[in-house]
Amino acid sequence: MQRKFLTNLGLLLFLNLLIKPIWIFGIDLTVQRIVGVGDYGFYFVILNFSFLFNIILDLGITNFNNRNIAQHNHLLNKHFSGILVLKLLLGLTYLVIAFIAALILQYNADQFRLLGWLALNQFLLSFILYLRSNISGFMMFKTDSMLSVMDRMLMILFCGILLWGHVTSSVFRVEWFVYSQTAAYSITAAIAFLIVVKKAQFRKLNWNWPFFLMIMKQSMPFALLVLLMTFYNRIDPVMLERMLPEKTGNEQVGIYASGFRLLDAANMIAYLFGVLLVPIFSKMIKKKQPIEHMLKLSFTLIITLAVIVGFGSFFYSYEMMDLLYDTHIEASTKVFRLLIPGFIAVSTTYIFGTLLTANGNLRQLNLIAFFGLIINLILNYMLIPTMLASGSAISSLVTQFTMAVLQVLMVQRIFRFKINYKYLFTLLIFLLGVIMFNVISRSFIIHWSFLPVQKAWLGNFALMLLASVCLALFLRLWSFRSMMNILREDR
């Protein structure tokens, strides 16, 4: 299993690091610059509002299905047709509830129009994730890896044509950004559907009300977990927009989005670990195989990366915001500096939370997530009126680290792993070393002949990254020899 994990993680990381930075920095960032902070903030609020009801689209079916199919492959033929009908019914329910909530909040016509397209996108994305849960449940990780980047590849193509193809004389509008997403999701969903249909030997849709109730009952704990996590991860911009005057609210949401973008991009890497580990942990637990080595391997890989990215971005936060944006740089830097350390916490939860999910400890996870939501709401309510977007960033940071600590403690309580103090001490030395490298690299300026003066910090940043990687190798947190042994021997 370790060999399977490493080989497929390498493929996933390669594809996502190849495609998604182009999407984030080439397309998404360009769109924000062209449409402006206000219009992008308007889009970002509606986007996060659509996420709040996302659980209705799925009711935990995807997470339940991923674990279930990984342990019982034969259930795909039995369940696929019924779940397909259920997903369509949930899509209609989601649309109705989202529009009722928008009516209660007194959204205007423009907000409703954008919400309609974003709701359709949420349905398509949910459908893709469900289809991929079947594919990864069969351990078809290479196919799943291609599907994981297909939508972004298509979005890059469509948005690139609209931005630079001179196919229209009009200035790019944020609505075109949404339409491009709709087209890309539709094509990806169609391809994933054809793959799963062939695997499931699908013949016709199956209306079976008792089956619907059975699936919803079994997936409900997963649904509650996703709902709680979605709220404490996505409610910050919505509260900013609702608690502040309209113009100020949209502007602060745009600033929050600027600081959040790089964290969201980094979180995609942590998410890839979770995608692979759910079926792997599930199958190992079913076969009663020891999981401690897999847990240590996956956590070591992600936490060393998270520490380097988290602290490097913290120390070079102003330079990064100045490189990416033309306006509100100071405000965006303040928000980003508060948000980015949360990548360390999020990376931890994608390992330990995934193990708890695979082991079926949904009750404990839901209690932890509910506690996180309460903390997030209270802190947002207290901090937004005086600290604006920075208040939401503090709320997010505190919530993420609270979740990480509680999940680690829960895993230790359930699995009773022997505490490896030498390993923990090594991690502490690594963390302190990365901080020291950042402090040193910030304390002097090297004039790199191949870099403009205003971008000389990139050379220092690269040196810090190199020193941090060397430290990880020196401390044997990353060991090429161990990885090669796993690739050769673990079959």
- Predicted confidence (pLDDT) per residue in 29-49, tens digit: 788 788 776 777 778 778 878
Predicted local confidence at residue 21, as pLDDT: 78
- Smallest Cα–Cα separation from 123: which of 168, 186, 74? 186
Question: What single letter denotes the amino acid at residue 320?
Answer: M
Residue 491's pLDDT is what?
46
Residue 261 CB: number of other CB atoms within 10 A? 22
Query: What pLDDT does residue 182 have?
Result: 94
**How far, in Å, CA of 316 to CA of 188, rounded?**
37
String of b and e for 319-337 (b: at least 16 CB within 10 Å)?
bbbbebbeebbebbbbbbb
Q: Which residues of 405-416 are buried (b: 16+ CB within 10 A; e: fewer)?
A: ebbbebbeeeee
The per-residue pLDDT for 72 is 63
Structure tokens at 319: 């330079």
> What distance in Å separates the CA atoms of residue 276 and residue 10, rounded to the nearest whole number?
11
Residue 304 near residue 472 (C-beta atoms within 8 A): yes
Contact indicator for 262, 320 with CB cutoff of 8 Å: yes
b (16+ CB within 10 A) / e for 118-128: bbbbbbbbbbb
Amino acid identity for residue 424 in this structure: L
Q: Which residues of the chain have pLDDT under 70?
A: 1-9, 37, 63, 65-79, 201-208, 211, 246, 445-454, 479-491
Distance (Å) of CA 450 to CA 239, 462, 467: 45, 13, 21
Q: What is the dihedral sign for C-alpha 126, 130, 135, 136?
A: positive
